[in-house]
């Protein structure tokens, strides 16, 4: 675990993570907590036993420069987390280091100019977000040219995007001149983008949907806590009335031809004034089929710890990706897909725990 100079392209010309100069290697480790979050900034906390911190490490930390130092966390020699150090605390018995991941910089920068001529006509929304992140970290033209420090950190080198399939022209995206880069990125994400910080990259992509292939499969045996399977009949029904369309308030009924009275879902009203009764019946059919028979749901507790044998490496725990979870050892086997929304890792001398939290998949756009 190391502390390095900021990730930047300042007056020294550094422009990548690998060229960062080491400030110190941390000694006297007691515990480490870090994580990854979907569309949010994660944090890391490192606790050192003060009596076991080397003299060289103490001297280095005494020269602390907030924001201009990065904390690097390694796991089995693999870099798994990086971000600026914001606070140091000394309690008499320990030294505590607080850091946030690289997306913390987004709250400190504003876009120099919104999307424009550098993008093709009607660009992909992920490309727009990527372009604007680059624009947030170039030198502001209103500043003197000699102030090279204003170009740090070098976010363009660590920003990556995957086309989302969402076109800018299909949105009504409007960005405020008074907002910072984080606020504008969140505004863009409202139209179907995911963003997350993964190690030393800010990744932008379309939201994982029910039609997205799974990046990994986990079973109940891969979790250190029990999983639940539920059949949610409370939201199910056998019939639905669809109002609207060309016939106005005359509903079209769809139900599953059962030999018992139908159980209605909430009536559905469509906005179209031209939809035919046949079209409305198809809508009713699709709604009922999604809700009857009762959906089998796999419930994974928030922060559920993975077992050491779980078949997914730390590099594969990318927030926003689809992960399927299956439970076979039940009266009714079930499987479900989720978006990974949070990873929480805790390490101490007693061992390591890797916890995951999932969010529902969205419907395809």
Closest C-alpha among 216, 215, 192, 195 to residue 204: 195
Residue recorded with tokens 């390095």: 4
Beta-carbon contacts of residue 62 (< 8 Å; ≥ 6 apart): none
CB distance 334 to 220 below 8 Å: no
CA atoms of 312 and 323, how far apart (whole Å) = 10
Closest C-alpha among 92, 29, 25 to residue 346: 29
Residue 60: predicted pLDDT: 94
Closest C-alpha among 239, 248, 231, 212 to residue 324: 212
CA atoms of 36 and 342, how far apart (whole Å) = 6
Residue 116: predicted pLDDT: 56
**pTM for the full model?**
0.81
- Over the chain (365 residues), the average pLDDT of each successive run of 10 is 70 43 93 97 97 95 89 94 94 95 88 64 90 74 52 61 93 85 92 94 94 95 94 74 76 73 75 77 77 79 96 96 90 90 96 96 81
Chain-centroid distance of CA 111 in Å reads 22
Closest C-alpha among 298, 297, 301, 309 to residue 221: 309
């Amino acid at each position: 675990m190391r502390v390095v100079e900021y990730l930047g392209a300042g007056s020294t010309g550094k422009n990548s993570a690998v060229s960062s100069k080491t400030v110190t290697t941390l000694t006297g480790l007691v515990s480490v907590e870090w994580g990854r979050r979907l569309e949010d900034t994660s944090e890391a906390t490192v606790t050192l036993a003060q009596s076991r911190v080397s003299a060289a490490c103490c001297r280095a930390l005494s020269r602390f420069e907030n924001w201009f130092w990065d904390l690097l966390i390694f796991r089995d020699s693999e870099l798994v987390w990086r971000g600026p150090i914001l606070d140091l605390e000394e309690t008499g018995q320990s030294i505590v280091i607080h850091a946030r991941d690289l997306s913390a910089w987004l709250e400190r920068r504003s876009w120099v100019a919104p999307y424009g001529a550098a993008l093709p006509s009607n660009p992909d929304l992920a490309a727009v977000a990527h372009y604007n992140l680059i624009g947030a970290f170039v030198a502001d033209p209103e500043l003197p040219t000699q102030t090279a420090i204003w170009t740090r950190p070098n976010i363009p080198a660590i920003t990556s995007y995957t086309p989302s399939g969402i076109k800018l022209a299909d949105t009504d995206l409007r960005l405020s001149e008074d907002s910072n880069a984080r606020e504008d990125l969140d505004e863009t994400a409202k139209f179907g983008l995911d963003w997350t910080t993964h190690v030393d990259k800010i990744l932008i992509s379309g939201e994982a949907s029910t039609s997205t292939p799974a990046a990994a499969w986990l079973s109940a045996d891969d979790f250190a806590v029990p999983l639940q399977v539920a059949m949610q009949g409370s939201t199910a029904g056998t019939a639905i009335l669809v109002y609207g369309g060309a016939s106005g308030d005359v509903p079209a009924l769809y139900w599953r031809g059962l030999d018992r009275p139908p159980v209605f879902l909430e009536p559905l009203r469509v906005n179209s004034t031209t939809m035919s009764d046949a079209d409305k019946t198809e809508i009713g059919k699709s709604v009922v089929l999604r809700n009857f028979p009762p959906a089998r749901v796999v419930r994974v507790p928030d922060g559920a710890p993975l077992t050491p044998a779980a078949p997914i490496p730390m590099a594969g725990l990318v927030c926003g990706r689809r992960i399927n979870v299956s439970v076979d050892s039940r009266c009714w086997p079930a499987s479900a897909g989720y978006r990974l929304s949070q990873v929480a890792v805790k390490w101490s001398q007693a061992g390591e725990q890797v916890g995951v939290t999932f969010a529902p998949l969205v419907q395809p756009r």
